[in-house]
A and B are shown apart, each in its own frame.
Chain A
Amino acid sequence: MKRALVLATLLGLAPALYAQAPAAVASRTKTHVTTLASDAFEGRLSGSAGEQRASDYIISELQRVGAKPLPGQDGYRVPFEFTAGSRDGGSWVRLGGRVMQRFEQRADIQALSFSDNADVSDAPVVFAGYGIVVPDSQGFAYDSYATLDVKDKVVLVLRYFPEDAEAKTKGILSRYSDLRYKAMAARQHGARAILIVAGPNSPNAGEIVPMSFDTALAGSGIAAASISGAVADAMFATFGDPGKTLKAAQTALDDANPHAAGFEMPNVTVTIHTDVVREKKTGHNILAYLPASSGTTGVQKPWIGIGAHYDHLGRGEVGNSLAEKGDIGKVHHGADDNASGTSAVLALAESLASQPRKRNLLFQFWSGEELGLVGSSAYVAHPAVPLDQMAAYLNFDMVGRMQDNKLSVQATGSSPVWSRLVEQANISAGFDLQVQPDPYQPTDVASFNQASVPCINFFTGTHVDYHKPTDTADKINFEDLDRIVDFAAAIVKRLGDTPEAPTFTKVEQKTDTSGRAGVRIFTGTIPDYSTDVKGLLLSGVIGGGPAEQAGLQKGDVIVEIAGQTITNIYDYTYALDVLKIGQAAKVVYLRNGERRETMLTPAARK
């Protein structure tokens, strides 16, 4: 029995290397999350009273741990201006020439949100097809302006892209069919205004483009308006040819034959007045710092940034709410998104305040993230600490819903230092890490990558409560959130103690995002961005949407749509481009490893 005895010792008594940390230590993040995600903070919409209240809380916590305003700054808050919304202030269009007709109803004409406020008088008109220009670099010749002279004229173009093109062509063209991109192409060709009409063969036929949410502070350098089918028909009627209609013109273009050209409309002129009223608001980033404990002589780039966005969706008024029908207009608590990250940064400030450090620690709380990284973009444009003095930036966005010990570290490709630091810190932290080198993430880390600062983002994955009022504090995994704080503290400590600064690596962007691919298609899927599974893992489906109707559910992995194999999110967005609204497409997916099929009928996104 000797062997058995030895083994009993081995198995029973030897201390495990990775013993769990002793429990019953009070959470360092729970109070922060619970406070910031409470009703009183009203969803922390940028520029709102809720944002103000949240910033008051954050500042009082920073003061408590001894973090100070930056030298030369007036307090902790740094304001930035943004466009909170836009509406049409009275645009109208008047046709001249063979027809004299004025349209001023919003059902007939409405400025696009990015339009200049401008007046154009009696300008000649050119129908420029879909108004798509594919850059030469794509090796695919398609230029709606190739044979046209539109200088100082008004162009009339179709919304979307050729409807009957083969799937691959459609995929390419759709990338350059975003309205902003079309407006830019028209402007570059010298046009004075662009009018958009949804052709009779397209979804939302003849309807006005709704005023989209756009955070741009100013117009895009051209008058741009959406007109109804009735206005376009009135213009086509001036040909006096029953065969020459908008429908006929669109149909000629719809097989994407690059040689089907646009044409002048010699019998009509356009006078147009565009008026976009942009409601300006002021959001506030919060900056505070803990100085290096022993001076920074001999230390390269003596600052480390640690940040998170603290804004959220308010009551869902800005448009990217995913609230279920019965919940629309309720407070979006944003406990995970991103009271969790905000709390992680506060807890880090508290734990790092008592430790010696060779670099200054800059704590950065962003507003305007939910509106499109507006706060961090404004900061990077006017940094309080020169960007070339930043050794690194660590970001936390949605870190409160850890499951099965899985933590994503993203943007690690921005510097070779990350894999080394992450590996080392994880030996004691012990996460089941998903490492995603891509720095082009939909969070503030992207602003710093753009500014060539080595950066990293921590993320515990999306979930069914994402961007819904149900993202509440009671669903937060505080124990693992605290572990993330310790993990990041170990990384900051290593970074801070090394006199040499990490090098920045520029990562090429995987796909061209100059066009907003697939934006007109609505499938009702909620992709899980946090994994690297082969295919598209769904973290949920939108209630009543096409995906739910097709029987898809959380956890399914889509591997094929309409004959196109899907290995990642990029393939998926590409595949969306080629789907037809209202036309069922075969979807192949894996459920618990079993291959299944269903038919999904995409709907139109308004």
Chain B
Amino acid sequence: MRPLHLVVAIACAAVAQLGAAAVQNTSAGLQERDFLTRVRRLTVEGRRAGEGYYSPDGKRMVFQSERDPANPWYQIYTLDLTSGDVKRISPGIGKTTCAYFRPNSDQILFSSTHLDPKSKQLQDDELAFRASGQQRRYSWDYDPEMDIFALSEKTGSLTRLTTARGYDAESAYSPDGQWIVFTSMRDAYNRQLNATEKAALERDPSLFAEIYIMKADGSGQKRLTAEWGYDGGPFFTHDGTRIVWRHFDESGLYADIWTMKLDGTDQRQVTTFGSMSWSPFAHPSGEYFIFSSNKLGFENFELFIVDTAGTKEPVRVTYTDGFDSLPVFSPDGTQLSWTSTRGGGSEGQIFLAQWNHQKALEALRNAPPRTMNVRK
């Protein structure tokens, strides 16, 4: 799960104003339609859907959706972008999230709790709870039983790639399909915690989230980040030389976009946007990242682009109130897909639009140099 609804759900008057006065006017005169045309809705069925990722040939998408009548949580589905056929590929038991196609392979990875013996019971309890007409506020619970699996579409066999206790998710393959970068909270479970750390785990396990890398078969797992605060949502850049991810500060209210080499060295901060900036994804041109930020209002996430070196201020892309996040570019760079509440209601669904790459380059050229929004 790359989104941070848990954090978003924290009503915090103190930050509700953040950025509002200091909105960067880099995008003066620009509108959503300068970047996005032929906006269309991809998912309709079910309570919510999100995190759609393209297959390497751009002909399919894998996404998560709450649409299985027998399971109240996200399950993983593939969508054929020509026929519209949708197929569930996850086990149907427990929670799942964050799928990704493996290049040069028939595998799709995703995270799942289906091996947890309590999964079925928890699922039935939740269904009964919802059937009673009650609703919880949406939150993501960082289930420590969440592990990463790879499914072979040909054989249907499911290979477990991580076994550590603690949430393992938010994973993506390298462009050559040989590596997986992922997020894990295992650091909270694999050692003796001191009193401060124990209290922190009770409050918010995501503080322990760090970025890891492993081989595609699950071997050679290695930690890449060490800073306190939620590190997550990593992806490889399209040339496979760097990892882009988001790093939260300890408050859980501010996040910025970072990049690093595959061995964890050369960590560079790309944004200092003074807001909650997350879900970065690289454009295939290598020129810029797209990400989501609540710069314009605590519960109003909009998409922004920023040059990969972070020399300029981010440029606003979407202009629709509500939730616009989890953006991805199609492999050919001509389309943008993202998760949005613009279809009505409070629950996200997946949208798609034609992407104007030339306009993006032009807007980034015209953007003012980055200012350091140093907080506190």
Q: Is B284 an interface residue (CB 8 A)?
A: yes
Q: B139 near A: Cβ within 8 Å?
A: no
C-alpha gap A11/B333 in the complex (Å): 6
Chain A residues positioned under 8 Å from B331 (CB to CB)? 10
Offer 28 A-B interface pairs, CB within 8 angstroms, sorted by A: A10-B333, A11-B334, A17-B58, A17-B59, A17-B330, A18-B40, A18-B352, A405-B40, A419-B44, A420-B86, A422-B44, A423-B45, A423-B86, A424-B84, A424-B85, A425-B84, A426-B42, A426-B44, A427-B79, A427-B83, A427-B84, A428-B84, A430-B38, A432-B41, A432-B343, A433-B44, A435-B44, A532-B344
What residues on B are CB-neighbors of A430 within 8 Å?
A: 38, 40, 352
Q: Is B286 located at the chain interface by the 8 A CB criterion?
A: yes
Smallest Cβ-Cβ distance to B40: which chain A residue: A430
Given contacts A419-B44, A423-B43, A434-B344, contact A3 B239 (CB under 8 A): yes
Q: State which residues 511-564 of A face B: CB under 8 Å.
A: 531-533
A532 to B344, CA, bound (A): 5
Q: In the assembled complex, how far is the CB of residue A442 from the closest CB belonging to chain B, in whole angstroms?
A: 18
Could you tell me the distance in whole angstroms from the C-beta of A321 to the nearest C-beta in chain B?
A: 30
CB distance from A366 to the nearest CB of B (A): 27
For B45, list chain A residues within 8 Å (CB): 419-420, 423
* Contact residues in B for A146 (Cβ distance below 8 Å): none
Decide if A38 is an interface residue (CB 8 Å cutoff). Answer: no
With a CB–CB cut-off of 8 A, which chain B residues contact A533?
344
- Flag whether B152 is at the interface (Cβ < 8 A): no
A16 CB-CB contact with B under 8 Å: yes
Contacts of B197 in A (CB 8 A): none
The binding surface of chain A is classed by DSSP as: mixed
Interface residues of A in 1-15 (CB under 8 A from B): 3, 7, 10-11, 14
Task: Tell me if A436 is interfacial: C-beta within 8 Å of chain B.
Answer: yes
B44 touches A434 (CB 8 A): no
CB-based nearest B residue for A7 = B285
Q: How far is the CA of A19 from the CA of B179 in the complex (A)?
A: 33
Tell me the B277-291 residues at the A interface (CB within 8 Å): 284-286
Question: B369: which A residues are within 8 A, CB to CB?
Answer: none
Given the known A-B contacts A11-B285, A424-B85, A593-B321, are A431 and B41 also in contact in the complex, defined by CB atoms under 8 Å?
Answer: yes
B91 at the A interface (CB under 8 A): no
> Across the interface, which residues of B come within 8 angstroms of A424, CB to CB?
83-86
> Closest residue of chain A to B45, judged by CB?
A419
Say if the beta carbon of B9 comes within 8 Å of chain A: no
Q: How far is the CA of A300 from the CA of B285 in the complex (A)?
A: 53
Where chain B touches its partner, the secondary structure class is: loop
Please name the residue on chain A nearest to B331 by beta carbon. Answer: A10
In whole angstroms, what is the CA distance A431 to B86 when docked?
A: 18
Q: Please state if B40 and A531 are interface contacts (CB–CB under 8 Å).
A: no
Q: Tell me whether B81 and A436 are in contact (CB under 8 A).
A: no
User: Known contacts A7-B286, A436-B344: does B335 contact A16 (CB below 8 Å)?
Assistant: yes
Q: A3-B239, A419-B46, A593-B321 are known contacts. Are A14 and B332 too (CB-CB below 8 A)?
A: yes
Known A11-B357, A424-B86; judge A432-B40 contact (CB<8 A): yes
B42 touches A427 (CB 8 A): yes
A369 to chain B minimum Cβ distance, whole angstroms, is 25
The 4 A-B residue pairs whose C-beta atoms are closest, nearest first, are: A532-B344, A427-B84, A424-B84, A423-B44
Residues in A whose Cβ lies below 8 Å from that of B86: 420, 423-424
A16–B354 contact, CB under 8 A? yes
Q: Determine if B58 and A532 form an interchain contact, defined as CB atoms under 8 angstroms apart.
A: no
Give CA–CA (A363, B331) in the complex, Å. Answer: 44
A426 engages B40 (CB within 8 Å)? yes
Interface pair B59/A433, CB less than 8 Å apart: no
Taking residues whose C-beta sits less than 8 angstroms from the other chain, chain B's interface range is: 35 or more
Known: A10-B331, A17-B82. 6 other contacts (CB 8 A): A11-B333, A420-B44, A424-B85, A427-B80, A434-B343, A435-B343
Residues of B within 8 A of A433 (CB): 40-41, 44, 343
B29 contacts the other chain (CB 8 A): no
Task: Given A11-B332, A593-B321, answer yes or no on A432-B39 (Cβ-Cβ < 8 Å).
Answer: yes
Residues 331-350 (chain B) with a chain A CB within 8 angstroms: 331-335, 342-345
- In the assembled complex, the CB of A427 is this many whole angstroms from the nearest CB of chain B, namely 3
Digit string of A365-400 for contact with B (CB within 8 Å is 1, else 0)?
A: 000000000000000000000000000000000000
Q: Is the CB of A405 within 8 A of B39?
A: yes
Contact B334 A435 (CB under 8 A): no
**A424 vs B286: C-alpha distance when bound (angstroms):** 33
Complex alpha-carbon distance, A357 and B334, angstroms: 37
Q: Which residues of B contact A419 (CB under 8 A)?
A: 44-46
| Chain B 73-91 interface 0/1 with A at a Cβ cutoff of 8 Å (1 = within) | 0000001111111100000
**In contact, A14 and B334 (Cβ under 8 angstroms):** yes
Q: Mark B23-54, 1 if CB is under 8 A from A, else 0.
A: 00000000000000011111111100000000
Interface mask (B230-265 → A, CB under 8 Å = 1, otherwise 0)? 000000000100000000000000000000000000
Question: Closest CB-CB distance, A493 to chain B, in whole Å?
Answer: 12
- When distances are taken between beta carbons in the complex, the residues of chain A under 8 Å from B41 are 426, 431-433
Most buried by B among A18, A405, A593: A18
Which residues of A sit under 8 angstroms from B330, Cβ to Cβ? 17
Chain A proximity of B365: nearest CB distance (Å): 17
Closest to A436 in B: B344
Residues on A with beta carbons closer than 8 Å to the beta carbon of B44: 419-420, 422-423, 426, 433, 435
Q: Is the CB of A17 within 8 A of B84?
A: no
Compute how far the CA of A188 lies from the CA of B245 in the bound complex, rounded to whole angstroms.
70
Query: Which of A10, A404, A428, A531 has a CB less than 8 Å from the CB of B284?
Result: A10
A430 to B37 CA separation, bound complex (whole angstroms): 11
Known A-B contacts A3-B239, A427-B84; A10 and B332 likewise in contact (beta carbons under 8 Å): yes
Identity of the chain A residue whose Cβ is nearest the Cβ of B42 in the assembled complex: A427
Q: How far is the CB of B330 from chain A (nearest CB, A)?
A: 7
Closest to A13 in B: B332
Nearest CB of chain A from residue B88's CB, rounded to whole Å: 13
The smallest C-beta distance from B165 to any residue of chain A, in angstroms, reads: 37
Across-interface contacts of B335 in A (CB, < 8 A) = 16-18
Does B81 contact A427, Cβ atoms closer than 8 Å?
yes
**What residues on B are CB-neighbors of A404 within 8 Å?**
39
